[in-house]
Structure 1
């Protein structure tokens, strides 16, 4: 089979795996079922038009425990992410059995480890014909994406890791004997308490800091746990998280930003992970009065994502809040600034062309691997 025939066959398989395609406002959503080697079927929701990936930033997201792709989809659709969303595509991953209203996974199914999930994400990129991505993960999902970045550095432009933990389970040991009592029809109280602790922090009175909508946020989270998510499958993901192996990012070839909240139960573990990474590769943001940073401080997270992406040569036409667009770009030249590698926008360059990723780092990594 020629390369052209193989490519046509690949696109045909992708079309056959398309479960749903809808347009909401100006955004296209496509849902696929992707078969992987070690992790079984992954439900993949594509938000945005991947045919424009050469001109846009492409993110891959992996959700935390007790959540699914909706957590990141809601964040992306928040007002503070509007300009980033308009110039990006998002590939949202549901780990096995975590799609909305999914049936319980069969007893014979071996739920994958976080390492297996991370390694299998490259299958999703190949399936969608995506060259490289920016990783965006929270909690257990951040751990998965870190392992993906270590396994496939040439496919990753950078990693945005929220409440990522490097060490094996330790802070959770006191919960270990309590949370296992899952019921197929409902989540046992001990399990729900564990997930509330994991999501919002151990100070229940400050679950979401100073957010005036904290009761609504907590209620919505509990409602989702009890309704759209299958409790048995949620328990399997929790077990995989608690059985995780140590994660070391020493020697990581991918730039990383670590984000946590001061009220997060994992803040100290994020700090430890930060200490273990080469400082020229990592940035850390610790947000005050926040436990669940996506709910408590979405604007700060969005701003840090934008700054980090600009450092990777992405989203260069998006102006930081409070900066006048007319002063942000020079109209006299379209060349690169020799001092810091940034581009100055000329009258002859469109915003879409200006947003084309600057992927010099990947070529450097490829050369290092070949040596």
Structure 2
């Protein structure tokens, strides 16, 4: 995983990028976090979805070893496919979005190369701990942790909630936010609008995309997130008319700050 993280330097050099805003999901989030730890000056801020910061546990290791054996010997079996569905969406996906389930099942069966997937899974379960911790001493605040602002997202039905909570407990609460989005397992597929809105506001809190604005209906206002100085809090507002967020002035007018996102996790 560390080798994959170092390969991002090659990509940045190819495109002549001095720093980036990171967006990673699952294993990609773990790789991005490793890159940010090794090269903090090259990452402005990050959005991590379902990120694990620890080594693979015995249960995960055992299940994945069984999947590796099946993928190499038999290809994409029904057991492997069901595990991948659980890994991405958690339980009860059929009840929430039957069409989405069918699309992913067909994708796993027809478009995934079993041997390559087995090699990738083998690398992921051999991952090392990120070795980060929350430092209470102000003088050592930036040691052994992610120095940039981090938005840590998961879904209410995701099997990776505990991983994201563990990561959140190891980050500096002044520059990190943990967000659990309701009624979904895989947030990008089931609640893309909420993720997009939260990410836009997160970027505005970092000084980017300040000119972006769009009209929100009263239905979408419920669960709106506002961001200030890299910290996020939930603004619960009841409105009967549409709300416009055009320009920086209106965005700044709605800023709310929480000092510790752990004690009062944001849920939309």
If the length of structure 2 is used for normalisation, what is the TM-score? 0.73
> Is 1:146 matched up with 2:33?
yes
Tell me if 1:243 matches 2:126.
yes
Is the counterpart of residue 265 in structure 1 residue 159 in structure 2? yes
What is the alpha-carbon distance in structure 2 between the residues aligned to residue 225 and residue 128 of structure 1?
Answer: 32
The answer to whether the 8 A contact 2:64-2:121 is kept is no
Given the alignment, which residue of 193, 200, 205 partners 2:89?
Answer: 200
2:176 matches 1:176: no
State how far apart, in whole Å, the 2-side matches of 1:244 and 1:183 are: 20
* Residue 325 to residue 277, structure 1, CA distance change in 2 (3 Å): closer
CA RMSD of aligned residues (A): 2.3
Alignment of 1:352-363 (within 5 A): none
For 2:47, what is the secondary structure of its paired residue? strand
2:173 matched residue in structure 1: 279
**Deviation for aligned residue 1:183:** 4.2
Q: Is the Cα contact below 8 Å between 2:210 and 2:248 reproduced in 1?
A: no
Deviation of 1:271 after TM superposition, in Å, equals 0.5
- Partner of 2:178, secondary structure, is strand
1:324 is displaced (CA, Å) by 2.5
Q: Relative to structure 1, is the Cα distance of residues 255 and 249 closer, same or farther in structure 2, using a 3 angstrom cutoff?
A: farther
Aligned length: 213
Q: 1:129 to 1:309 in 2, by over 3 A?
A: same
- 1:230 equivalent among 102, 108, 113: 113
Larger relative helix fraction: 2
Which whole-Å deviations, capped at 9, do the CAs of 1:69-123 have from their partners, x for residues lacking one? xxxxxxxxxxxxxxxxxxxxxxxxxxxxxxxxxxxxxxxxxxxxx1111121011
Distance 2:245 2:80 in 1: 49
**Contact between 1:184 and 1:230, CA under 8 Å: does it hold in 2?**
no
How far 1:173 sits from its partner (Å)? 3.4
Larger Rg: 1
CA 1:313–1:162: 2 relative to 1, 3 Å: same
